[in-house]
Structure 1
Amino acid sequence: MHLAYPAVLSVLLFCIGVYGVLARRNAILVLMSVELMLNAVNLNLVAFDVWLRDTLHSGQALTLFTIAIAAAEIGIGLAIVLMVYRNRGTSDIDRLRDTAEPPDGQPDNPDLTGAEAGPGTTAPATQKAEATA
């Protein structure tokens, strides 16, 4: 087997993953891009293991460890993204500058009104009615 074919495919997958991490705004798509990069590394590990004819199959063993770590990473990453989406109303990475709560209990999402906005906030229609009274 020629080593060039899986190596070129691995480089292409890794470059697509790097582009996805740098260009995407959605946190879930960024996590998918990280997984793509990890799979490119796994492909390289297995390809070099076959090419070197390693008797211990250390490339395949490292690939299994990488798959386990990737599964744990995606589980924790999705849990964090879901928690942030529930609290903030968006998973856009540019709008998530820090993990601190917004000041005065105001939500980051201005589209939320009334009961959806949370405690201590009033709907825009209520604010207009109070201003005219």
Structure 2
Amino acid sequence: MDFFHAHQAQHYLVLAAMLFALGAAGVVLRRNAIIVLMSIELMLNAVNLTFLAFSRFPLVPNSPMGSFLTGHAAVFFVIATAAAEASVGLAIIIAVFRSRTSVNVDEFDTLKL
């Protein structure tokens, strides 16, 4: 347990920022729809890490507005939303692949299958 006490909030926030930047670069630079979807998931995990860092190291100590579990509840909500987003996104990608035989996002210029 001393491992978590030795680190400060900046360490977690810098790691979350690097993960988010890596995910954003994947969304912008890659053209494969599956890689873009994975990059979005990476960005959501960076947000989860930020929520947990701020719940572990609150900005205002002993605040009546927040508690240790507030960040955890937000993380569970983000995980549930990300699971729904991934399943719907993957279903759309599979439908597009069946009709066009490609998952390149540059080729998605119309909404018709």
Q: Shared topology, TM-score over 0.5?
A: yes
Residue 5 of structure 1: aligned partner: 11
For CA contacts below 8 A with separation 6 or more, give which structure has more relative contact order.
2
Task: Report deviation, 1:98.
Answer: 1.0
Are residue 85 (structure 1) and residue 97 (structure 2) matched? Answer: yes
For the residues of structure 1 that align with 2:30 and 2:99, how far apart are their CA atoms?
21
Write out aligned runs for 1:1-133 (5 A).
1-52=7-58, 54-55=66-67, 57-101=69-113
49-58 or 38-47: which moved more?
Answer: 49-58
For the residues of structure 1 that align with 2:67 and 2:28, how far apart are their CA atoms?
39
Q: Percent identity?
A: 44
CA offsets 1:18-49 (integer angstroms, 9 cap, x no match): 00000010000000000000000000000100
Q: Amino acid of the residue matched to residue 83 of structure 1? A: A
Point out the structure with max Rg over C-alpha. 1
- Answer whether contact 2:55 2:69 (CA < 8 A) is retained: yes
For the residues of structure 1 that align with 2:52 and 2:9, how far apart are their CA atoms?
11
Unpaired runs of 5+ residues, structure 2, are 1-6
CA offsets 1:88-121 (integer angstroms, 9 cap, x no match): 11000111111225xxxxxxxxxxxxxxxxxxxx
Q: Amino acid of the residue matched to residue 44 of structure 1? A: T
Q: Amino acid of the residue matched to residue 54 of structure 2? A: F
Task: Report deviation, 1:55.
Answer: 3.0
For the residues of structure 2 that align with 1:35 and 1:88, how far apart are their CA atoms?
25
For the residues of structure 1 that align with 2:8 and 2:78, how far apart are their CA atoms?
24
- Answer whether contact 2:93 2:103 (CA < 8 A) is retained: yes
Q: Give the alignment's Cα RMSD to 1 decimal.
A: 1.3
For the residues of structure 1 that align with 2:48 and 2:68, how far apart are their CA atoms?
17
For the residues of structure 2 that align with 1:22 and 1:59, how far apart are their CA atoms?
29
